[in-house]
Structure 1
Amino acid sequence: MINQTFTCLIVDDEPAAHYVLCNHIEKNNALLLVKQCYNALEAHNYLKENVVDLIFLDIDMPEISGLELLQLLKNPPKTILTTAHSEYALESYDYGVVDYLLKPVSTSRFLKAVDRALSYTKITKAEEEPEILTVKVDGRIYDILLKHICYIQSYGNYVKIFTPTRSYVVAITTQEIMHLLPGSQFVRIHKSFIVSLTRVQKI
């Protein structure tokens, strides 16, 4: 169901940490991993154009630390910090993080942190997530149910919204329309394509 899928992002400079977190995420039906970043700058660039529900964020990374990344983001997603250094624990909560995981991350501790994060996210979604996308096509206003959208394709300063029955060409950029779509339901898989997670059958 739509309200049971939460998109997540891993940000860590260690491949071994990605391996562990990916295994944990794959076993959790509530989570969908949409991106893996190996430094904070890559994650910052991704989050400027994409919305996710949850970040698994390493603290100690070269050039830009995980905590510095949170400072750079205007509205950071719910964040679970992952690190091998326990001395950051108290400082990390000043950044509004949901939980703090020490490496190596155990399954039981991972599940507890995710349950806490999703409980916050569910409340936010219930209050804020829209069910309808309102667009203007050739001077006419259309209300499109989000659950009817299959995917969206970019054409420069326009996008084409595809539903099972018809398509809509709208004068808006891909980045602009991403900000109108809930991250739990849509993911940008390519610079020109946004897909509805409810329509994904295989990855």
Structure 2
Amino acid sequence: MDQFTCLLVDDEPLARELLVTYCGYLPQLRIEAVCGNAFEAKTMLQEKAIAILFLDIHMPVLDGIGFLQTLKTRPQVIMTTAYKEYAVNAFDLAVCDYLVKPFSLERFIRAVDKATENIGSLNNHNPVAKEADDHLFIKTEGKLYRINHDELLFAEANGNYTKIITTDKPLTPAMSFSSLEQQLPATQFVKVHRSFIINKSKVRRIEGNRVFIGEQEIPIGKNYRDELFKKLGL
């Protein structure tokens, strides 16, 4: 049986104990570490290969949502929280599942099954998984939009929001620029400025320190120019 390494992060001792107990029922899970805050967890992620991260939201200094936004690469993330209202923010960050405390063992097992299936799909290069990865969902103005990667022209940081320009319409979801960047495939999208990320297949021309997507002029930051040209094969 394959084993999946786990990191448990919660500032409440009883919540940590429950997670340890639940994990103990599933022989495929191996707990690598149990942490009480995001800073301990960040250290563990740097030191150990973690497959599944169980993460609380309300924690001191740096909460779970903020912590996820600091991670460039993530394991499968299962949020564990007493607060339902953060679900949209969590799924904007592409978490695997969202467990609302108190959750049952049955609900916990379903979340773990989803995480391990995701890992299996990635490891096996499942074509169905690849097909599912050609889009993302964007929530804005109370609506959920499915955006195919090929429809996304570029995105611009806009304070606490991100302006997303598609072939259909502009969208301004309440999500950070960094969280959108983490959801986009690096093979297709490239950051050309601290405030802009573009779909490289949509580049019409480059003039000096400007790249054009359609008629839209986008600046190229000096620290990003080499990576852009590398991604374009130049």
Shorter-chain TM-score: which interval?
0.5 to 0.7
Task: Tell me if 1:20 matches 2:18.
Answer: yes
In the superposition, the TM-score normalised over structure 1's length comes to 0.60
Task: Tell me if 1:78 matches 2:76.
Answer: yes
> Counterpart of 1:54?
52
Q: Per-residue CA shift, 1:94-130, capped at 9, x if unaligned?
A: 0010000011121110011111111001122234xxx
1:89 CA displacement: 1.1
After TM superposition, where is structure 1 displaced by more than 6 Å over at least 4 residues in a row?
Answer: none
Task: Trace 1:45-194 onto structure 2 (pairs within 5 A).
Answer: 45-127=43-125
The amino acid that maps onto 1:7 is T
Q: Name which structure has the greater RCO, CA cutoff 8 Å, separation 6+.
A: 1
Structure 1's unaligned 5+ residue stretches are: 128-203
Q: Secondary structure at the match of 1:13?
A: coil
Structure 2's unaligned 5+ residue stretches are: 126-234
Quote the RMSD (CA, aligned, Å): 1.3
Q: Secondary structure at the match of 2:68?
A: helix
Contact 1:20 1:105 in 2 (8 A): no
Q: Per-residue CA shift, 1:62-91, capped at 9, x if unaligned?
A: 101111111111101110000001111111
Q: Per-residue CA shift, 1:145-189, capped at 9, x if unaligned?
A: xxxxxxxxxxxxxxxxxxxxxxxxxxxxxxxxxxxxxxxxxxxxx
1:30 CA displacement: 1.2
Q: Could you tell me the percent identity over the aligned residues?
A: 42
